[in-house]
Every structure is written in structure tokens, then in C-alpha cells.
Structure 1
């Protein structure tokens, strides 16, 4: 009889972290590996945010805080939700966690019962299904298509809802595809949800500020105010503010749910890092001037990667609306053989061979629930992206 919990057999380690670790291992062994697997901006945290953290340390703000966030940060989140989305929240409706992942996890742990279902469009962020499983629920994965730009349709959502549906997890712009839903596309989904009052909405808005070509971000409770009382809007400072290591996420929702999430957090991690919280206050309240130039850089990198990958026979690379990922389809490469003799049976074999034979780390599509594809993160330098894409071109050209 195993000492470990049976629950662990239901989940798997994060494939994105595993691929990043494998690339780091090869790099440490002297290989010239270019990593395109980690979803982390290469920009430094803006100086005003770092200064706020230093000031917090100097002021002795190094003690425990309330389990789910200091009042100043909760107030900053309320102000952000009003400013950006016209949504009114009180501090009692705000939860601050150790990264966006914790707020999602707390919400699922606070609400899921055996037999509850959670609708998750695929491709999805790798952690969604496993968090649902850990919470005792059942992920209901609905595959989107390349032809529909990897976006869920209203008809697909309607068909997936059952009396057991507890949550619908929504992510726009998306990890891993970068696909962003327009207001009309999101309204079609919210119209479906209005017909099913037992279904709650978990909106992961982490890539909100990373949008290109005039794409206008909107969030479900903003598009359909009738969903306000059963929507948890989740966000954080990791991506747009280049604060991945600071580990601050937040969520806005009904008081009863936020209170339940606080109870779980108080008995697990307790408060997020006090210094990081004060840095996040400055991130949300301070200047946002760096967002536009950062986005211009990301857009340039996106266009570079899409162009170079789309030139490859056997690869189709759509142009995403936001985030910093592309999700090329590789149906035309399946069944081919690498110079080292590896048969590309699926996207995992492709990603493994690309790392071992061409020193480029990407994440295979099966990790995100939709194959055959792979994810590239273009949150790294133009030079690294150009070289990595050239290596992918040479690798694909060598397949027979």
C-alpha cells in the first residue's frame, strides 16, 4: 500500500516546467539551448515598482499581513476593476494570493464536490484540468479548432453544459494560443451562460494588457452585467508588469466565495509576501506608461516568429491577438523521420527531437490538450527568436 495520497495519481507535473528544466539541464552540460518554453517576459520589473518594494523594506513592512492581502492592495484592485472595466467591487470582494495560480486553486477547492464538472476549452493552460482533479471535480475538455482560431463557439459551450456543470473556465487572451475573444464573440458565450444560472464563470485575465493590432480586451462580467454575481475575475501582476517571481495574483468576486477562499488560504499558505504586495500596489496604482512600448516589442517578436514558422512546409502558424505565445499546427510533419532516426509520431516526439537534435526547447501540444501542435513563447530577445526559428526551419527541412 502506497504511503502517498491516491489523489496524486490523478494529476501530472507541469509539462512546461518539465521542458524548461530539461533545457536548463542541457544548457548546464554545455549545450547552446534556446529556451522558448517558459511563459515569462524577459523585461525587468519596472523601476518604480522595485523602488516601492525597497521602500516597504526600509519602512519595516516585513510582518505578517491579513491572509488574503493588505487593505491597500485590495483597494488598488478595486480601483483597477473600476478604471479598466467599469466594475464596482469592495475590498471584501477581493482575494490576493501567491500568484494567479493560487487564487484559481483556492476557488476550485472552495467550491468543488465529487461529480461536479468544469468546462475547459482546449487548448488550455496546463494547470486547469489538474487543479480541477485535485479539487475532486471532473474536467470537461472541449476542443476548439484551428479553423475557428482556437476559440470556443456558443454552440460548443451550450452542448457541454450539463446539470453537473459547476464552472466554466475562460481565458482570453489565451495561454497557449494567444487567441483573444472580441466583445461580440464573448457576448455569444455570455448569452449561453445567462440561460444556465447554475454555471459559474472563472475568467482568467492574466494576459489582459498584452494585446495587439487594435484588439480590445473585455472580461465576461463587463460584457454581461447579469453574470456579475457568479463570476470570479482572476488576474495578477506577473505578465504585463514583468513580476513573475514576485508571486502576486488576485481575484474579484462574490463575498461568499471570497470568504471561502480566504478560509482555505488561512489554513494553507496564509498571506502572500508582504514586500511583493506593496510592490503590486505600485504596479496597479502607478504609471502604466511602460505597457505600450513593451507591447510594441512583443508585437514585433510575434510577427517575426509567425513569419519564420509559417515559411516551413508542414507548419501552419496563425497570428494571435494577444499574450506572448504562438501555437503552430504540425499535421504536415507527422510521420516524418529526423536525421537521428526518430519518427515524428506526435507533437511530443517533435518537441523532444527538436530539443535533442536542434537545441530548441518548446512545449508539445498534447500538454495543452490539443494536438498536433507546439507552443512557442516569444517573450525573449529578437536575436534568440531569430536563431531559434532558423534552427526550427533547418530541423524541419531535414525531416524525411
Structure 2
């Protein structure tokens, strides 16, 4: 059966594809440690579960407006003003089924086929995949240690710049100076900006600031995406939203209407509760311990360089001293040790691996990391190198 040309040029996301492979192995009775994505071992916060339980006791769950119930959009706009410094009203907000839907709808209404989108590398694979589905030209640019005017001046002309802050997978959090440089560049070039701030509440060692916290954010064409998936251990709830110029929110609603209509009523209740409680302190404390533990395990390993990320549920590990073929490394790891991770090729950077450190218990995490080190040491010995591990 022939499929359309639109979808024939696309491919499944590497992140979801690896997770589905893990699920298939587990369905077959295999014991697999999945470090390829971030699935929290925490439950959704108690206020979220209580709010949903109360909603289930109501006699009806009605349809809402496509963009979300008025009370949800009002609550999210208040959150944006109070926490992010974004001058938003309910008309600037649209509730979506997770961050991916928000990214797709935003790029759909911000661009036309053939226009150029700049994505900083390494990158969350959904940005490039979405751009490809929409017929956009994607330019991948290596993200520097510091984003400043000199770096931005090297970027090509484009319709949209995609910014991820905090960043997946490196955990980088943009400083006030970096955000100011981006705003100045947007003003000077007329480029619009899609900002993914899904990890805003998963910050360990920095202060998160929103790019749209400026008086002219709407005129600049800044769309900001948020999600409760990682920050509130709500991966399966699909609770996300975007704040965008009113004309774009209206257009995103027009697009969302015939696809999914409104986000499910229970998800909207969960979103209101989650975004109303801010960061989850016990979750952050636990993740910090896990982050530091894995960094310490890699510290004596000669072929790996792992820095403690300032934010997020991932470690970005440089193993170029061992191999640039991290796709092959990931395949060997899964075949020999039944441990899954995300190879850097999927995020635009061969020679790196992404490790999700928030799933399962600490003993399982240690076993998974131990398998990575064991495989790397054996490869280093086979190549005549000198591996050093704990």
C-alpha cells in the first residue's frame, strides 16, 4: 500500500524507537535497563492525583474550548506572569497534548514549506523531525559554550530559531546575558523564535529565565513551550502548553481543532494542579543525588568525559576518545548487556551518548552504568588503549 510523499520522507523518532525496542524485549521476558529516555520513578505529585480524583467524582467531563478551559488558561497565564515574567493573558495560551504537539503546531503556523529553521546541536530529535514533516529546511548549528553576539552573527538568515532552555541533552541553562544577546539578534534580523522551556523546574545549579520575559516578546514572535512530563513526573499525562502571540494561538487552535480538539478534560485538571505547585523539591533532591552518583562513577573512566548538568534528567557523555560510532556502541550495549541508551547520532552528535538517570532504583541505575563502563573498557582494551574504571 502506497503512502503519501509527505510521510514517506519521514522516519520514526530515534528516542521513541529505542524505547519501543526496550518494551518489545520486556514483553518477551527480557530484563532490560532503559537509560535511553527519562521515565521518572516518582509518581505524579499528590495534588495532581487529588485534583484528578476529585474531577472523576463529578457527574460529567464536558468538552472544553480547543485551546483549553477558560479557568486553565487563566491559571497558566497567571503562572507565566508570576514565575516567568512573561506578560501573558489567557488569549496568549493554548493547552496541548504534551510539548511535541505544541512544537508541531507552533512551527506549522510560524512557517511555510521551504523556509529555513535553525536548530542548535545537539538537539532533541523532535525539532528536526517536525521540521522535516512540515517541508522546512533545517540548518543544524553546533551550540557553543556561550551564546553571544559573535556566535549569533554567524547564523544564516532563517524564519525561525529553535532554542532549548534548559537544554536537552546537555543540561545547559542560558544566562541573562545570553538571553539578551538572542533578543537583540531577533530584533535585528526579524527572525522568530521557538523556545522549549519544558525543563524549567528541573534546575539544579542555575537560575532559569524565560526568553519571552521582555516587553516586546509578542512583536518579536517568541513562542514558548512548557511541559509537565519531566518536571512533575507526568510522562503519560501529556500535559503541555504554549504561550504565543495571540494571532498564532488562534491559528494553532484552528490546526488543533480537527486533529485532537481540546486536551482531555482530566489532563487539563492535572495541568492546572501541576503548574500551580511549582518545582517538586523532593524530586529535585533525588535527581541531584542520582546525577552526582553517575558523574562520580564515570570520573575514573579514561575514555569518557561527563560533566554534571545544571538542569534536566540526562547526562551527556563524551566518548569520542573511545569511538565516534555511538550507534554501534548502543547496539552492542543492548545486545550484550540488555542496557539501552541514546546514541549521539540521534541528537546530531556522533561520539556522544545520552543517559537518562531518573528511572528505576539506584541499584538498577548503578548496574546500567556499570554495563556501559564494562563495554567501553573492553572496547578500549581491544583497541590497545588503557581503560581506567572504578
Q: TM-score range by the shorter chain?
A: over 0.9
Unmatched 5+ residue regions in structure 2? 383-390
Distance change >3 Å, CA 247–CA 60, structure 1 → 2: farther
Give the number of equivalent residue pairs: 378
Summarize deviations over 1:195-241 as a string: whole Å, max 9, x none.
112x111110000010112x00011112x433343111110221211
- The answer to whether the Cα contact below 8 Å between 1:154 and 1:188 also exists between their aligned partners in 2 is yes
Distance change >3 Å, CA 152–CA 29, structure 1 → 2: farther
Q: Where do 1:1-400 residues align within 5 Å?
A: 3-144=2-143, 148=145, 152-162=147-157, 165-197=158-190, 199-213=191-205, 215-222=206-213, 224-229=214-219, 230-285=221-276, 287-288=277-278, 291-334=280-323, 346-380=325-359, 381-399=361-379, 400=382
Task: Give, in whole Å, the separation in 1 of the partners of 2:140 and 2:339.
Answer: 29
Distance change >3 Å, CA 118–CA 297, structure 1 → 2: same
**TM-score, normalized by length of structure 2?**
0.92
Distance change >3 Å, CA 11–CA 155, structure 1 → 2: farther
Secondary structure in structure 1 of the residue aligned to 2:321: helix
Unmatched 5+ residue regions in structure 1? 335-344
- The answer to whether the Cα contact below 8 Å between 1:100 and 1:236 also exists between their aligned partners in 2 is yes
**TM-score, normalized by length of structure 1?**
0.90
Task: Give, in whole Å, the separation in 2 of the partners of 1:112 and 1:282.
Answer: 33
Secondary structure in structure 2 of the residue aligned to 1:312: coil
Task: Give, in whole Å, the separation in 2 of the partners of 1:154 and 1:318.
Answer: 26
Task: Give, in whole Å, the separation in 2 of the partners of 1:182 and 1:40.
Answer: 28
Shift, 1:284, TM fit: 2.2
Shift, 1:153, TM fit: 4.7
**Please, what is the CA RMSD of the aligned residues?**
1.7
- The answer to whether the Cα contact below 8 Å between 2:122 and 2:347 also exists between their aligned partners in 1 is yes
Distance change >3 Å, CA 331–CA 93, structure 1 → 2: same
Secondary structure in structure 2 of the residue aligned to 1:249: strand
**Counterpart for residue 385 of structure 2:** none
Task: Give, in whole Å, the separation in 2 of the partners of 1:110 and 1:187.
Answer: 25
Summarize deviations over 1:80-112 as a string: whole Å, max 9, x none.
101112222111111111111111111112232
